[in-house]
Amino acid sequence: NAGVTQTPKFRILKIGQSMTLQCAQDMNHNYMYWYRQDPGMGLKLIYYSVGAGITDKGEVPNGYNVSRSTTEDFPLRLELAAPSQTSVYFCASNSPMTTTEAFFGQGTRLTVV
């Protein structure tokens, strides 16, 4: 199983540029999440989704947008990149069942210059 796949692994953006971080999972999980991790810090929730067509804001949603048109995919969009968005971004998925663990992608390291 591929699990949770994120692309790209690395990206450098200029201030004001836009990009989409891709996330796909093959475990048929309803729940998907986007987190960011700044150096030496824990993970902060950006957006999450409990199923196709349903998304909700997390702790730090400003400057980002998401969509969930299929169960498998949950892309994260940065519209106007700012240096404050330099971070490592992790996508995760989980089942609604509380007995199951969450699975994470390998991360996307984004630098905005």
Residues forming contacts to another protein in the complex (CB under 8 A) are: 31, 33, 35, 41-45, 48, 50, 56, 58, 90, 92, 94, 98-107
- Beta carbon nearer to another protein, 25 or 94: 94
- Beta carbon nearer to another protein, 86 or 106: 106
CB of 59 to another protein, least distance (A): 9
- Beta carbon nearer to another protein, 14 or 101: 101
CB of 50 to another protein, least distance (A): 5
CA-nearest of 5, 64, 63, 11 to 32 is: 5
- Beta carbon nearer to another protein, 65 or 103: 103
Q: Is 113 exposed, middle or buried (0-12, 13-18, 19+ CB in 10 A)?
A: exposed
CB of 35 to another protein, least distance (A): 7
